Amino acid sequence: MKHIYIIGSKGIPARYGGYETFVEKLTAGQESPDITYHVASRRDNTELSQENDVFEYNGAEIFSIDVPSIGPAQAIAYDIKALQWAIQNAKDIEAKAPIFYILAARIGPFIGRYVKQIHALGGTYLINPDGHEWKRAKWPLPVRKYWKVSEKGMIKHADLVVCDNRKIEEYIQEEYGAFKPDTTFIAYGTDTTPSSLNKNDAIVENWFHEKNIQQNNYYLIVGRFVPENNYETMIREFMKSDSQKDLVIVTNVEKNKFYQKLLQITSFNQDKRIKFVGTVYDQPLLRYIRENAFAYIHGHEVGGTNPSLLESLSSTQLNLLVDVGFNRDVAHDAAIYWTKEDGHLARAIDAADHYTEEQLFNNGKTAKQIIAREYTWQKIIAKYEMVFE
């Protein structure tokens, strides 16, 4: 039996996106009978974690970790405590050649001592460094510097670096070539099942009526409301465009200083097309909203293979993506690309408005073919199980 310890997600059952959804899908879709997953979960993640030190979910052993209230350093403490638990558990059960898979590069300054313990067990240490966390504008400069130092430490000691985007793999090989890192590319996945809802369902009718939105008559943005996702550029440029459609923004802006700043510098509240509609947690409804958008605008530029991009490619007929290597690596020629140059996105929106039905159909078909070929969860899980075994 192969024992795989997964550290770095908040835990499962998944309440968040990103890593949590990945771990949920990986364990739920397990094919190999020779793998046992052990997954770290923050004590505050779910009621199951609050009530149990150890429990089973999706056939995996979930171990709950108490995290001290120490502000931003919580995540570092969580990863360290989870790794300590995992190493001790591997010793206790005498796991043969265990694998410790750490998601995100948070504990680089401390990882060396734990890798020695892992190797003493006959184990292997894998890291998924995610994207360029050290570039995120939400972090103060000292935190960004820590992220870069931490990333270096995590890569230096890794037995294998799992990259969810080919451009991340290229970056790791170029930036840390002196360490001769062993890398592999395994993408993130996405669901391809169409929404179970239709236009006559009450939840659909109520949402579109309440938000005053017409189906197939809006551009859509979905994602965390942070500066590096280029909300300022997307909103400014949409306001400059001649489009008669709405810009529907699905995100949480409650008590958000960035929202107030953006409002002040763009005055988007004076443009009736700009509609912040809050978050949508109902997944079939969110899928339906994606499927019935005219087009999707994607401004993420510091991550690897972004889950929201995969979801839009699998469900939305046309995608307008900020022109960075991560996005081109995923969407290839099945998108319109834009830069942050003044007027560039506005012109792209005006061009998209004039796409014919045939162009829209062909674009959506190509995007869905890319997803089916490379990004279904079934394919991603199979690749992981090959690596683990």
| H, E, C per residue of 61-115 | EEEEECCCCCHHHHHHHHHHHHHHHHHHHHHHCCCCCCEEEEECCCCHHHHHHHH
Residues 236 and 180 in one domain: no
Residues 168 and 315 in one domain: no
206 in a structural domain: yes
17 in a structural domain: yes
281 in a structural domain: yes
| H/E run at residue 274 | strand 274-278
Instruction: Quote the CA–CA distance of 107 and 74 in Å, as a whole number.
Output: 11
Instruction: Quote the CA–CA distance of 273 and 128 in Å, as a whole number.
Output: 39
Residues 54 and 167 in one domain: yes
| H/E run at residue 218 | strand 218-222
Residues 82 and 152 in one domain: yes
Q: Which two tokens stand for residue 361?
A: 């159909």
Residues 131 and 207 in one domain: no
Residues 214 and 176 in one domain: no
316 in a structural domain: yes
Residues whose CB is less than 8 angstroms from the CB of residue 304 and which lie 6 or more positions away in sequence, other chains included? 130, 131, 163, 164, 165, 167, 168, 188, 326
Instruction: Quote the CA–CA distance of 206 and 289 in Å, as a whole number.
Output: 12
Residues 61 and 9 in one domain: yes
Q: Where are the alpha helices (DSSP H) in the chain?
A: 19-28, 47-51, 74-92, 111-120, 141-156, 166-175, 202-211, 231-240, 257-266, 283-291, 307-315, 325-331, 344-353, 357-374, 377-388
Q: Where are the alpha helices (DSSP H) in 157-230?
A: 166-175, 202-211
When computed from its CA atoms, the radius of gyration of the chain, rounded to whole angstroms, is 22
* HSE of 232, CA atoms in CB hemisphere, 13 A: 15
Long-range contacts of 193-202 (CB under 8 A, 24+ apart): 194/287, 194/291, 194/315, 195/284, 195/285, 195/287, 195/288, 195/291, 195/315, 196/284, 197/284, 197/285, 197/287, 197/288, 199/292
pLDDT of 133: 65
326 in a structural domain: yes
194 in a structural domain: no
Residues 39 and 125 in one domain: yes
pLDDT of 1: 94
Cβ–Cβ < 8 Å for 216, 292: yes
- Residue of 103, 125, 105 whose CA lies nearest to 39: 103
Cα-to-chain-centroid distance, residue 91: 33
Cα-to-chain-centroid distance, residue 73: 21
pLDDT of 70: 85
The sign of the CA dihedral 138, 273, 252, 131 is negative
Residues 207 and 341 in one domain: yes
The type of residue at 159 is D
pLDDT of 189: 94
pLDDT of 248: 98
Cβ–Cβ < 8 Å for 279, 206: no
Tally of domains within the chain: 2
193 in a structural domain: no
CATH number of the domain at 255, please.
3.40.50.2000
pLDDT averages per 10-residue partition of the chain, 389 residues: 96 84 96 97 93 96 93 90 98 97 95 98 94 65 85 97 93 95 95 93 97 97 90 97 98 84 94 95 94 97 84 96 93 96 98 97 96 95 96
Instruction: Quote the CA–CA distance of 268 and 241 in Å, as a whole number.
Output: 13
Q: Give the domain range for residue 69.
A: 2-185
pLDDT of 350: 98
Residues 272 and 160 in one domain: no
The type of residue at 175 is E
Residues 165 and 213 in one domain: no
| H/E run at residue 319 | strand 319-322
Residues 160 and 223 in one domain: no
385 in a structural domain: no
Q: Which of 128, 152, 185 is the last residue of a domain?
A: 185
Number of C-beta neighbours around residue 93 at 10 A: 13
Cβ–Cβ < 8 Å for 310, 326: no
